[in-house]
Amino acid sequence: MGIVGLFAYWTVVLIAPFALIVIWSAILAVALFPIFEALSRLIGNRPVIAAAIIVVFCLVLIIAPLALVAVNFADTAQVLIDKLRTGNFTLPSAPAAIREWPVVGERIHDAWNKIAGDLAATIVKFQAPIREVTGVIVTKLALIGGGVLSFVVSIILSGVLLTRSARLAATIQVLASRIAGEKGVGFARLAGATVRNVSRGVIGVAFLQALLCGLCFTLFGVPAGGPLTFLVFALCLMQLGPALILLPVIVWAWFSWPTWIALAFTVVAIPIMIVDNILKPILMARGLSTPMPVILIGVIGGTLSQGLLGLFLGPVVLGVFYELLKAWAWPSGSTGSENSRPARFDAQSERIEHPQ
């Protein structure tokens, strides 16, 4: 037993750097398996070609938005650098309407004009905090870049797992049966169903909302549409919704565009903000139903602990754990029936009463 434990420890140490990539690859393979199976049948039972098509499609979905964000950031940074180099970088004067804001309107208007009037002196005055903030931003961008690279590797590895899906599924069932018998096999199937439900209800809806926002920004010519679309995607995954981005853009549109264009943008943006409230219950109800608080905790905790990869991994892990815990506590699967209720303690008679 000591020798077995020693080799198990060494194995864990060796695979620990790749653990998150492997786990995320397995989650992707399980979530994409229905699409892989249908596509393989459609092209004449060619699993390798089907897996390659899915991998390329997923990489395009990931790389294209990130490339758009990078191009927009590069263009914005280049314009800013050119203006700073020539000394033509100035801030516009504060709108007169700000003075009418209650309590803080006058102060904001005066501070805005003061900064706009002498921008160079303001930058020199706050150069130390600006330097610290810039360092933090660069560090976070490096972490995001590493997370994106890990995600790309996970997508490629998930394609390899899909080509071996039948053998892997049989192996998992054998291992689950060795651990917990028939109940272990049921838990394994439950985990797969939970992964697919969470993928459809969280990641799928988030991607749909980000896609609709990107099309809306492109159609109306909203500045920095690429970065805004990426932020919408992140906020939707965090269960915060696109309103934190769309509402300020709507307000800006009413101040910057003609009335009829701003009205059209508002009419298009409002349904995008609420579409998740309609789609999520429908998609999450198909099979297992993981409560939204569990998903929210998983998203926030995963993001804080594992970065971009945890943004996806957190809700899936907590969702699987919740369903496994529920299945273990109520093995009959009917938590609301009379026979599945736990025993009730009667305080007056100091005895245990069973439902039957």
Question: Is 228 contained in some domain?
Answer: yes
- For residues 94 and 110, give the distance between their C-alpha atoms in angstroms, rounded to a whole number: 8
- Residue 75 has a pLDDT of 66
What are the pLDDT digits (tens) for 310-328? 666 677 778 778 877 877 7
Per the structure, the complete domain to which residue 203 belongs is given by 19-76+147-329
Q: What is the pLDDT of residue 314?
A: 74
* Partner residues linked to 352 by β-bridges: 345
Percent of the chain clearing pLDDT 90 (strictly above) = 3
Q: Is the pLDDT of residue 188 over 80?
A: no
Whether 142 has a pLDDT exceeding 60, the answer reads: yes
Residues of the chain above pLDDT 70, percent: 63
Quick one: pLDDT band at residue 341, thresholds 50, 70, 90?
very low
pLDDT at 174 over 60: yes
What's the mean pLDDT when you consider all of the chain?
A: 75
Sign of CA dihedral 15, 18, 20, 23: negative
In-domain check, residue 341: no
Phi then psi for residue 41, to 5 deg, are -65, -35
Q: Reply yes or no on whether the pLDDT at 334 is more than 60.
A: no
Residues paired with 345 in a beta bridge: 352
Asked whether residue 53 is assigned to any structural domain, the reply reads yes
- 306 part of a folded domain: yes
Q: How many domains does the chain have?
A: 1
**Phi then psi dihedrals of residue 333, to 5 deg:** 85, 0
- Answer yes or no: is 323 within a domain: yes
The pLDDT assigned to 226 comes to 76
pLDDT value at 154 more than 80 = yes
pLDDT of residue 211 exceeding 70: yes
Q: Quick one: pLDDT at residue 25?
A: 85
| pLDDT at site 348 | 41
In a domain, 350, yes or no: no
Q: What is the DSSP string of 166-214?
A: HHHHHHHHHHHHHHHHHHHHHHHHHHHHHHHHHIIIIIIHHHHHHHHHH
Please state, in angstroms and rounded to a whole number, the distance separating the CA atoms of residues 327 and 186: 9
Tell me, yes or no, if the pTM score tops 0.75.
no
Smallest Cα–Cα separation from 339: which of 355, 320, 316? 355
- Is 123 domain-assigned? no
pLDDT at 344: 41
